[in-house]
């Protein structure tokens, strides 16, 4: 099957062909016809299987069929909204939308924080058909009155599971209240959960359900391996592997921002060029590091799970879990940065003794026993504990509970105080009821 058999316009097929794509992936073959028919969609697929094109191509086709030719200031309503969990993914999706729609008259923009809001306001004033946004920055524009969502015809939640993991559910609900009730909704996820079920139930109208692979599994194109290593020798082992095997491009995941910065510094001492990308870095620093890494001029990119979604690096050969993630499904997303679009990749995890429970949880999730290897001089025999951080989802839940509890206590205290004041205050000519 080719893209021309899916019912897409000649302009879109021309743009897709120029990107080097000739045959649709399984998720694209099923999703594109459903979206073209106007159906709501609940779609799950392994990361790296072409989910972006599966919603971007049919959206561009449908928008082009009823497109507004006048893009002068204030004349074009925003008709499609694509929400993503991270800045990097927003930028990446918008770039794909731009490339796929280059022969249409549709205009799109990315909207995310970490950069000045002024240029985004000017872009909106010039007329935009499609907005790709992170929830927080979108709500900033709503609050400042610079965006109108009343004409949205299409809503896409990309990597919806990650948005829920990151605690965006309240922002999503606020945004949904601002949208017209009559619209087409597309929800894409990589790992299925009860939270996704609940979100879909409240959002989608008789959706078409698509899953092109078993849930929470890794791609066959990725070779996975575990190196059992002494906890305080991980950095030395990583440097050893990079130098010995001459890795020229490797994405390394750490559990914390501080750990990422420290590893970059340590790799520098080993004369290995590395940069870090995480939430505490400025957007310009993140963009600079990612651009260098994608171009092949940066050997090692060290990242927290901010990069577990949204990084599409052509033929990335190696991903390393310097620290195992606390949430097992994050392992699937991390190693999904390699082995994309049919290319081969290798995922290596450096695991010390104290991470054995995390490893067991990952193997249970993916239903696979990962092969273990050791290298002389680095074997695991230390009691050095890896860096720990709280489970983010548990932290968010506890925070919500504390807020509710504090609010209840405050209300009770206020009520008691009000009651005491009432009892102690007696107006002239009145009697206090007993």
- With cut-offs at 50, 70 and 90, classify the pLDDT of residue 352: very high
Burial of 350 (0-12, 13-18, 19+ CB in 10 A): buried
The predicted model gives 48-58 an average pLDDT of 89
- With cut-offs at 50, 70 and 90, classify the pLDDT of residue 191: confident
Task: Say yes or no to pLDDT of 326 above 70.
Answer: yes
| Structural domain ending residue among the three candidates 159, 180, 211 | 211
pLDDT, residue 214, reads 57
| Structural domain ending residue among the three candidates 353, 373, 393 | 373
Asked whether residue 425 is domain-assigned, the answer is no
262 and 206 in a single domain? The answer is no
CATH number at residue 79: 3.40.50.300
pLDDT, residue 74, reads 52
Task: Say yes or no to pLDDT of 245 above 50.
Answer: yes
**More confident position, 167 or 70:** 167
| Structural domain ending residue among the three candidates 186, 211, 236 | 211
Number of domains in the chain: 2
The predicted model gives 361-380 an average pLDDT of 88
287/79 Cα distance (integer angstroms):
28
406/411 Cα distance (integer angstroms):
8
pLDDT, residue 165, reads 81
The predicted model gives 21-39 an average pLDDT of 93
Q: Which of 78-87, 241-250, 361-370, 389-398 has the weakest average pLDDT?
A: 389-398
180 and 291 in a single domain? The answer is no
- With cut-offs at 50, 70 and 90, classify the pLDDT of residue 418: very low
124 token code pair: 């909106």
**More confident position, 391 or 174:** 174
Task: Say yes or no to pLDDT of 433 above 70.
Answer: no
pLDDT, residue 398, reads 53
Q: Which residues, 6 or more positions from 402, have their beta carbon under 8 angstroms from its beta carbon?
A: none
Task: Say yes or no to pLDDT of 434 above 90.
Answer: no
59/98 Cα distance (integer angstroms):
12
pLDDT, residue 423, reads 43
Q: Quick count: other Cβ atoms within 10 Å of Cβ 287?
A: 17
Asked whether residue 395 is domain-assigned, the answer is no
Asked whether residue 400 is domain-assigned, the answer is no
What average pLDDT does the chain have?
Answer: 84
41/157 Cα distance (integer angstroms):
10
pTM, full prediction: 0.69
61 and 177 in a single domain? The answer is yes
157/172 Cα distance (integer angstroms):
9
Strand order in the sheet with 80-83: 108-111, 130-133, 80-83, 154-157, 184-189, 41-44, 208-211
Task: Say yes or no to pLDDT of 28 above 60.
Answer: yes
Asked whether residue 379 is domain-assigned, the answer is no
The predicted model gives 193-204 an average pLDDT of 88
118 and 182 in a single domain? The answer is yes
Q: What is the DSSP letter of 349?
A: E
Q: Quick count: other Cβ atoms within 10 Å of Cβ 211?
A: 15
pLDDT, residue 432, reads 34
Task: Say yes or no to pLDDT of 142 above 70.
Answer: yes
298 and 176 in a single domain? The answer is no
Contact 67, 130 (CB under 8 A): no
204 and 226 in a single domain? The answer is no
The predicted model gives 51-74 an average pLDDT of 81
Task: Say yes or no to pLDDT of 429 above 80.
Answer: no
Task: Say yes or no to pLDDT of 431 above 60.
Answer: no
281 and 340 in a single domain? The answer is yes
Handedness of CA 23, 9, 134, 109 (dihedral sign): positive
179 and 260 in a single domain? The answer is no
44 and 145 in a single domain? The answer is yes
Asked whether residue 394 is domain-assigned, the answer is no
Question: What DSSP letter does each residue of 245-298 carry, written as one string?
Answer: TT-SSEEEE-SSHHHHHHHHHHHHHTT--EEEE-TTS-HHHHHHHHHHHHHT--
Handedness of CA 56, 61, 62, 67 (dihedral sign): positive
357/214 Cα distance (integer angstroms):
24
Asked whether residue 152 is domain-assigned, the answer is yes
pLDDT, residue 166, reads 82
199 and 300 in a single domain? The answer is no
241 and 298 in a single domain? The answer is yes
304 and 231 in a single domain? The answer is yes
- With cut-offs at 50, 70 and 90, classify the pLDDT of residue 430: very low
Asked whether residue 158 is domain-assigned, the answer is yes
CA 16 remoteness from chain centre: 24
Q: What is the DSSP letter of 178?
A: T
- 111 three-class SS: strand
pLDDT, residue 81, reads 98
Asked whether residue 396 is domain-assigned, the answer is no
User: Nearest Cα to 169, choosing from 196, 144, 151, 133?
Assistant: 196
**More confident position, 85 or 219:** 85
The parent domain of residue 345 ranges over 222-373
């Amino acid at each position: 099957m080719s893209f021309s058999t899916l019912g897409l316009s000649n302009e879109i097929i021309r743009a897709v062909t120029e990107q080097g794509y000739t045959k649709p992936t399984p998720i694209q073959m099923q999703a594109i016809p459903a979206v073209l028919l106007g159906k709501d969609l609940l779609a799950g697929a392994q990361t790296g299987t072409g989910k972006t094109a599966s919603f971007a191509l049919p959206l561009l086709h449908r928008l082009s069929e009823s497109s507004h030719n006048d893009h002068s200031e204030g004349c074009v309503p925003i008709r499609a909204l694509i929400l993503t969990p991270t800045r990097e993914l927003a930028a990446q999706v918008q770039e794909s939308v731009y490339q796929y729609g280059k022969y249409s008259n549709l205009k799109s923009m990315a909207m995310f924080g970490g950069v000045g809001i002024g240029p985004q306001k000017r872009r909106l004033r010039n007329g935009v058909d499609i907005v790709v946004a992170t929830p927080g920055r979108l709500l900033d524009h709503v609050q400042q009155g610079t965006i109108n969502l009343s004409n949205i015809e299409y809503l896409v939640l990309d990597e919806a599971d990650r948005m829920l993991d990151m605690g965006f559910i309240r922002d999503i609900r606020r945004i949904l209240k601002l949208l017209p009730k009559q619209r087409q909704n597309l929800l894409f996820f990589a790992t299925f959960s009860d939270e996704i079920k609940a979100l879909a139930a409240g959002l989608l109208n008789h959706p078409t359900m698509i899953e092109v692979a078993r849930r929470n599994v890794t791609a066959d194109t990725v070779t996975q391996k575990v190196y059992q290593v002494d906890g305080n020798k991980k950095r030395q082992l990583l440097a050893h592997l990079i130098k010995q095997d001459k890795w020229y491009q490797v994405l390394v995941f750490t559990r914390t921002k501080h750990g990422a910065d420290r590893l970059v510094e340590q790799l520098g001492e080993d004369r290995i060029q590395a940069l870090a990308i995480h939430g505490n870095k400025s957007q310009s620093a993140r963009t600079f590091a990612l651009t260098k890494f994608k171009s092949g001029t940066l050997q090692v990119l060290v990242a927290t799970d901010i990069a577990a979604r949204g990084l599409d690096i052509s033929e990335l050969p190696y991903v390393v879990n310097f620290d195992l993630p606390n949430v097992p499904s994050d392992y699937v997303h991390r190693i999904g940065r390699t082995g994309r679009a049919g290319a081969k990749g290798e995922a290596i995890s450096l695991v010390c003794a104290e991470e054995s429970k995390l490893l067991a949880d990952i193997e249970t999730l993916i239903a696979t026993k990962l092969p273990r290897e050791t290298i002389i001089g680095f074997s695991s025999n230390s009691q050095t504990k890896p860096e720990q951080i709280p489970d983010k989802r548990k932290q968010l839940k506890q925070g919500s509970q504390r807020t509710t509890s504090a609010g209840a206590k405050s209300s009770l205290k206020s009520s008691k105080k009000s009651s005491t004041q009432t009892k102690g205050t007696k107006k002239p000519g009145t009697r206090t009821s007993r």
